[in-house]
Every structure is written in structure tokens, then in C-alpha cells.
Chain A
Amino acid sequence: MRQRHAHWPVIGALLLITALIVGYKVIVLGDNPGDLLPTTQYNVALDLRLNGHGEAAKVRTFLPTSDRHQLVLDEANTSPGVHFSAQSEELNRVATWSGAQVPDGTALRYAYSVLNTELRYHIPPELQIPSSYPRSVLPFLRPETDVQVDAPEILAAVAAAGADKGSVLERLQAIYGVTTGLTARPFKGTTDALTALRLGEASCNGRSRLFVAMARSQGIPARLVGGLILQPGSKRTSHQWVEVYVAGHWVPFCPTNHYFATLPANYLVLYRGDETLFRHTSDVDFDYAFQTSTTLVPSVRAREILGRFNLWALFERLELPFSLLRTLLMLPVGALVVVFFRNVVGMPTYGTFLPALIAAAAGSTGLGWGILGLLLVTLVVVTIRAGVHRLGLLHSPGLAILLTGVTVGVLGVSLIADALHLAHLARVAMFPIAVLAITAERLYLSIAENGPREAAQEMTGTIVVILGCYVVMKSLALQMLLLGFPELLLVVVAANVYLGRWTGMRLREYSRFAPVLVKGGV
């Protein structure tokens, strides 16, 4: 007979080993174990549409460049029939699409991925305004049409704010105070510095121009910066903020969203200077949108430090998708969720791992497909079982017909959905057939062995557990944690060892055994 408490040392050992590995990694990495966690990669696609009416047309815009703040990867231009060029012009990288006979409805796409890091600057409090600047910086002290550096009202505002005396930091704080203090207003179009000051309200470009004008008036070089605030979805709005030249560095400020000497990770710089994001031939109908999505990828630091035991590098070498690694690592967690539902809650499910497998598959195709696939399989099984039963077929051939039914069902739904132009539904065939086939067999056996009532209960339980697994397995925080510290799977094992020896009542058994528990009847 087994030792009653033999499992405790095992649990202790597993937890200890995990703690040692995690501890080692944290200590070796010094004060930044967060470097091991994956980072968010933004996948940006600029979609351009123009109606060239079959005549010559030209569009130009700015492309992001890599620097300390942003790493631009995997750039790809798609512009059939239109000539594309990208070249550096002064501060910026300019993209130009041009064609001699551009038809109506021409669609162009420029896609790239960016890995960003937040930049923070520290401005020494005692730093004074220098008496001279390098020649290249001098243009950023001059007035411009929309940046009225010499206007008396601007100078008066500088003085009123106290930005005309003290250290660089004090003056910038005063200017930042004035520009962040303006009332927000979602202007479309350009607001110059003076107008923003007079109205006391402005959008991002008005605030930024006022900031630049006030800084330049005090002999601090400053310039506008234009770009995107990255967030998943589709948008047309670009953003403008400011860079100020301090002690040899261009230090970012965003008076609109309140970033002082900080450039947040989701800001993407497209151009510097007072520019217009798009210029195009005047008589083309022109439209654009930035499509942004995010994926989790290994951080740049983590790629360097993990060395030999680097699963990320392995997957990269084997050209396997990073999302597969994520799914694999989350599968044991999903199985633990199933175990919890079965042994602690007492929820009946088809098989032990099927809900976790369905949730994992749904993780890459979407939860809707998991549930839809399950319902489709149920429909096929119930229909075919009725037929197989009537014909009096033997067991295995019956199951083989079932699999055929599942295949036909999936393809049929795809065909019908495609005919109805339901693009998403048509992709139901993407849901792993192996998972559907196993589900079908389990359901068939369950109906045969336990009857339709119990099979329906198992079905309900399975759907609930799939939802539970999905929520847990989809958790970004957990995924990051497991990707950074895969040794945490040992904790999952320890939890299973514990639950494997846990003899408590399942939640549902409290109602099942109510006749015993509640004396004097229920």
C-alpha cells in the first residue's frame, strides 16, 4: 500500500526547485528580471486608397526609422502598378508612390512591425542655458510661420509663467505648465502657436507649436515631432509632440498627454519638424488608415541572455511560430483548470484534456470557433448516431462514418458561409480536425454508454470548462510569466500532485449527498 503522505515531499521538492531556478534567473539578471518577459510588438499597416482617374498621381508620406526608442522590422511595400521609393531627406525618411496612369480604386499598403521601449530623460536641475549651440541645431531656434517665436504675446506669456528665468529645467517646467494647462479641443487641422495661446485651447499640434515657440524664445532649441499613438485597431488620427535640445540630446515632451521628458512605448515617431503627414496630387481622391495589431514576442534582452536553454531562439531557428510555443506552454495550465473543474467542482466533461485542447485550438482561431465546432460536432453525432442505430451497423464502422460526417460538416459550413460571403465563418475549417474528431468519438460513446441525458450534462460541463480554460489560457499575464519562467510548469505539476491526493468533497457532491449531510431530510 502507498504511503499516505508520500506526496508532500514531492510537492516540496518541486516548489523548491522552481524557487531555485527562478531565484537564480532573477539574481543573475540583477535588478531587471522583467527583461525576461516578452514584449508587445506592434504590427502596423498603412493602407492608402486613391482614385487616380487613370491619370498621373503621386503620394508621399513619412516612414519610421529605427533608433533608441523604436526598432522597425519587417517592412513591406505592396503597390501593384505604382512606383515606390523611399529615401532620406534631411531629418526624415520619405516614401513616395507615383504612377503615370493610376486607375480608380488603387490600394497601396506599407506594413512594418515595431518593437518600442519607453525613453525617460533626467534633466540636471542646475543645468543653465548654454551660450552657444552646434551649427546644426541653430535652425530650431528660429521663428516659423506657425511658430511665432518673436510675437510679443508669446514673450509676455513666457514672462507671466516665469519661464524667462532660472535653469533649463525650471523654464521647461514653466512652459510645460502653460501648454498642458490649455483646454483640450479636438481641432482638425493646423493651429499656430499664437492662436493656441489666444484661444487658451488647442489640440496636440497647437499645444506643441506653442511649446516650441516658448522654448525657442528662451534660446532653447525645440522642434515638432509627428507620429502615431499605437493601439490595436484602425485609425486615421496622427499625433504631434515636441523635442527639446538639452545637453546634446533631443528630449521628448508631450503636453497633450502629459509626458515630461518621457516618450512612452506606444508612441511611434514618423517625422520631425513642422510637416504634413501626407501630400498628394491635388485632384486624386485620397484616403488612408493605419491598421494596428499586437503580438507578444521575446524581448530583445531576453534573446541575448537565455543562451542555450532558450526556447524562443529554438523556435526561431526551427521557424516555428512563437504563438505555438505559447500554446504549448499554456496547455498544462489548461489541463490543471480541467482537473480543478472535475475534481474540486465535480463538473463532468468529455475526457480529461479535451476541454483544454479545444480551448487551446480556440486560442488561435477565436473562442467562437471552439464553441461553433463543438455544436457542429454535436449536431453531426446526433444525426449520424440515429442513422447508424437504425441500420444496425457495427461499432467501429459507425465511428468511421461519424468522422466522415464531421469532415463533411466542416467543409459544408465553409462552402455555405463562403457562398453567403461570411468570411469568418468560412474559416471554420481552420479549427483542428483532430480535436473535432476526438470530440465526436467521445460524444458518440457517451451517448451510447450513458444515455442522452448524461451526455447532455457532460456537454454542458465541457462548454463551461472550455470557457474556464480559455479565460485562463488567454491570460496575457500568465502567458508572459510562463514564457519568461517556463520552470513554473513544475508548480503546475505540484498542484496536480496535491489535487491527486486531495480527498475533499467535490462541490457538487454537497448537493448530491444532502440526504446524508442534512439530518431530518432536505
Chain B
Amino acid sequence: MRRWLDAFGRRGDVVGMNRRNVELVYALNERRHYPLADDKILAKELLSAAGVAVPRTLLTCDGLYDLPRAMRLIEGLQDFVVKPSRGGGGNGISVVTKRLGPGLWRGAGGRVIDADELHYQMAQILFGAFARGALNDRVLVEPRIVAHEAYQGLWADGLCDVRIITVHAKPLLAMVRVPTAQSDGKANLHQGGLGLAVELDTGLVVRAVCRGESLTHHPDSGGPLLGLRLPHWEQTVDVARRAASAVPLQYLGVDIVVDEREGPLVLEINARPGLEIQNVHGVGLNPLLEALS
């Protein structure tokens, strides 16, 4: 009983959906700037203009009329990623690892992908099938990122990314999102992905949480998680800070991947970042926000 009363007393620490919307999203992010975060192509243009490292763009495609050109360009590519510019939650993304022959590739899971499938995928993207509440979208094709070996060690079959929450361009909390077998190769925490709480100052993994359960090892690979020190950490936090300074949005979730050759790259920025990071850290956002102001 005592324990539950204490828990109820701590409710002020946690930022719930209502508080996030009223006090962070509406108060700090003007609605007219949302497209900068929601649209990956727009975000990349802005960030690279500000000198923030982002993945290269191999090609973009604006509409069905443009599809034949896009298909011709793709024919010459070895490994790449097809993304909806305005997608979310990892939906609508195809990862290609190797070209097998004319119109044939190997996908991330080892599956063979043909030109028809890619064509359909891109058409679906253009119709806005993966863009929330929109009827059209753009296709973004980027080189496949090969994560730094430290990240690959966490989970080889999917991409781990770093999520850093910033308020007024000051990093507040950081975590690494690791895919699991359960999460279908996606690093989404709602779909069973693993969250690693990382100390901002040191890059040290201090906690690992999967579906609300605290862990010490990866549930599939059995690899140890706690006590890891992440590579290029200072640079990673710095990239987040610079990305946040480059956009007019004051409350952000900056997603970063650490490429084995290029180092930390900003994958996307989110104007309405999720709140699960609090569970990963076992800490509410509110005390951190108060300390900031």
C-alpha cells in the first residue's frame, strides 16, 4: 500500500501524453514547422545545409510520372534503402543488401526482391500508404548504412539507432533502440524492441528494458548489454545538439545512427517523440525539464 502511495506521489515526475502535448509539443514546437520533422527529405535538406552529417541521398521520386526514372537509377545500385519520406515507425522501408542480377536483389532478411516488388513498394509510398493521414508522399533512396561494429554487436540483423531527446537544443535523455526477433527487425519499442538507457556524459549503457522488463542480456543473442561503452559518443551527442539547433523546433527526438565509416549521422528528427524513453531510464522527464529551466 505504502509503495503504491509513493508511486502515486511520483506521478508529477512522469510526463504523460497530455502533459507532453500541452507543455512540450504545443508550447515548444510551432505547428507550421512540423513538416521539417515529418518529412525526411525536407529535414535532410535543412540539416545538411547547416552542416549536420546525414546519410547521402541516392535519389528521390516525387510522383508516379517519375517512377520509370527512379527504377532505371535503382538498377545500377548495389545496396540501398527505400523509404517513404513521411513514414513513421519503420513502416514502408525496404532494405536491399546486394544486387543479384538485372532486376533482382537480396533483401535484408535474405529474401530475393525483384523490380516489380520495388516498383509496387514505391507506388504505395507515393500514394501515401505509409504517410499518416496523407494521400501522397515522396520516395527517398539512401545508401544502406552499415553500423559501427559496436552497434552491430548488439544485433546484427537490423539497424540500432540512438534516440536523443533535446529541449532548446540541450540533450536531456539518450537511449539506444535495439531490434529483437520479436520486433521484426525494427527498433520500435512498441513492437518489442529493446531500449538501452545511455548516460549522456559517458556513453555508458546503464539499463536495458524490453516491454517494461529490465534485462542484462539481449533476449535473443544473449550478448551482454549493461556496462557497454558506446563508440563516438561525444560526437553522437554533439550531432544531436547541432541538429536540434538547426531546426526551429524546440522539443525533439533526434535519431542517429553511427556508420562504420562516416560516424554519427542524423537519420531523422521527430517533433512528437514518444515517452517510452522514461521507462527505459526508469526516470521521469519532468525533473530534468525543471532542472533545465
- Contact indicator A503/B14 (Cβ below 8 Å): no
Q: A2-B26, A394-B123, A449-B130 known; A517 and B14 CB under 8 Å?
A: yes
- Tell me the nearest residue of chain A to B130, going by C-beta: A449
Measured CA separation A503–B14 after assembly (Å): 11
- Tell me the nearest residue of chain B to A396, going by C-beta: B127
A516 contacts partner chain B, Cβ-Cβ < 8 Å = yes
**Number of chain A residues whose Cβ lies closer than 8 Å to a Cβ of chain B:** 33
Secondary structure class of chain B's binding surface, majority of residues = helix
- Tell me the nearest residue of chain B to A511, going by C-beta: B212
Give the residue of A454, A506, A517, A522 whose beta carbon is less than 8 angstroms from that of B10.
Answer: A517
- Contact indicator A392/B120 (Cβ below 8 Å): yes
Measured CA separation A2–B22 after assembly (Å): 10
Measured CA separation A502–B26 after assembly (Å): 13
A1 contacts partner chain B, Cβ-Cβ < 8 Å = yes
Bin chain B's interface residue count: 35 or more
A515 contacts partner chain B, Cβ-Cβ < 8 Å = yes
- Contact indicator A514/B7 (Cβ below 8 Å): yes
Measured CA separation A500–B23 after assembly (Å): 11
Give the residue of B27, B135, B191, B282 whose beta carbon is less than 8 angstroms from that of A396.
Answer: B135
Give the residue of B6, B11, B14, B190 whose beta carbon is less than 8 angstroms from that of A519.
Answer: B6
- Contact indicator B212/A343 (Cβ below 8 Å): no
- Tell me the nearest residue of chain A to B128, going by C-beta: A395
Within the complex, the shortest CB–CB distance from A332 to chain B, in Å, comes to 21
Q: A395-B129, A519-B6 known; A513 and B278 CB under 8 Å?
A: yes
Measured CA separation A1–B18 after assembly (Å): 17
- Contact indicator A504/B91 (Cβ below 8 Å): no
- Contact indicator B282/A509 (Cβ below 8 Å): no
A433 contacts partner chain B, Cβ-Cβ < 8 Å = no
- Contact indicator B128/A518 (Cβ below 8 Å): no
B216 contacts partner chain A, Cβ-Cβ < 8 Å = no
Q: Mark A303-330, 1 if CB is under 8 A from B, else 0.
A: 0000000000000000000000000000
- Contact indicator B127/A394 (Cβ below 8 Å): yes
- Tell me the nearest residue of chain A to B13, going by C-beta: A516
Q: Mark B118-139, 1 if CB is under 8 A from A, else 0.
A: 0010011001111010010000
- Contact indicator A504/B279 (Cβ below 8 Å): no
Q: Mark A206-219, 1 if CB is under 8 A from B, else 0.
A: 00000000000000
Q: Which residues of A contact B10 (CB under 8 A)?
A: 516-517, 519
Measured CA separation A503–B130 after assembly (Å): 30
- Tell me the nearest residue of chain A to B21, going by C-beta: A503
- Contact indicator B214/A521 (Cβ below 8 Å): yes
- Contact indicator A509/B14 (Cβ below 8 Å): yes
- Contact indicator A504/B16 (Cβ below 8 Å): yes
- Contact indicator B279/A346 (Cβ below 8 Å): no
> B120-163: which residues lie under 8 A (CB-CB) from chain A?
120, 123-124, 127-130, 132, 135
Within the complex, the shortest CB–CB distance from A388 to chain B, in Å, comes to 11
- Contact indicator B278/A516 (Cβ below 8 Å): yes
> B1-16: which residues lie under 8 A (CB-CB) from chain A?
3-4, 6-8, 10-11, 13-14, 16
Q: Mark A1-39, 1 if CB is under 8 A from B, else 0.
A: 110000000000000000000000000000000000000
Q: A346-B17, A501-B22, A504-B16 known; A449 and B11 CB under 8 Å?
A: no
- Contact indicator A343/B18 (Cβ below 8 Å): yes
Q: Which residues of A contact B14 (CB under 8 A)?
A: 505, 509, 513, 516-517
Within the complex, the shortest CB–CB distance from B185 to chain A, in Å, comes to 14
Within the complex, the shortest CB–CB distance from B188 to chain A, in Å, comes to 10
- Tell me the nearest residue of chain B to A342, going by C-beta: B17
Measured CA separation A394–B132 after assembly (Å): 16
- Contact indicator B282/A515 (Cβ below 8 Å): yes
- Tell me the nearest residue of chain B to A1, going by C-beta: B27
- Contact indicator B17/A506 (Cβ below 8 Å): yes
Within the complex, the shortest CB–CB distance from B2 to chain A, in Å, comes to 11
B217 contacts partner chain A, Cβ-Cβ < 8 Å = no
Q: Which residues of B contact A501 (CB under 8 A)?
A: 22
Within the complex, the shortest CB–CB distance from B44 to chain A, in Å, comes to 23
Q: A395-B129, A449-B91, A515-B279 known; A505 and B11 CB under 8 Å?
A: yes
- Contact indicator A515/B209 (Cβ below 8 Å): yes
Q: Which residues of A contact B129 (CB under 8 A)?
A: 395, 448
- Tell me the nearest residue of chain B to A519, going by C-beta: B6
Within the complex, the shortest CB–CB distance from B162 to chain A, in Å, comes to 21
B232 contacts partner chain A, Cβ-Cβ < 8 Å = no
Within the complex, the shortest CB–CB distance from A400 to chain B, in Å, comes to 12
B69 contacts partner chain A, Cβ-Cβ < 8 Å = no
A510 contacts partner chain B, Cβ-Cβ < 8 Å = yes
Task: Beyond the given A395-B129, A502-B18, please list 11 additional residue pairs across the A-B interface where CB-CB is below 8 A.
Answer: A395-B124, A395-B128, A454-B190, A501-B22, A504-B19, A513-B16, A513-B279, A516-B14, A519-B6, A520-B3, A521-B214
User: Would you give 22 A-B contacts (Cβ < 8 Å), ordered by A?
Assistant: A2-B27, A343-B17, A395-B124, A449-B91, A449-B130, A449-B132, A451-B191, A502-B18, A503-B16, A504-B16, A505-B16, A505-B19, A506-B17, A510-B8, A510-B11, A514-B7, A515-B212, A516-B279, A517-B13, A519-B7, A520-B3, A522-B212
Please list the 9 inter-chain residue pairs (A to B) with the smallest Cβ-Cβ separation, ordered nearest first. Answer: A503-B19, A395-B127, A517-B7, A505-B16, A395-B129, A509-B16, A515-B279, A518-B7, A513-B14
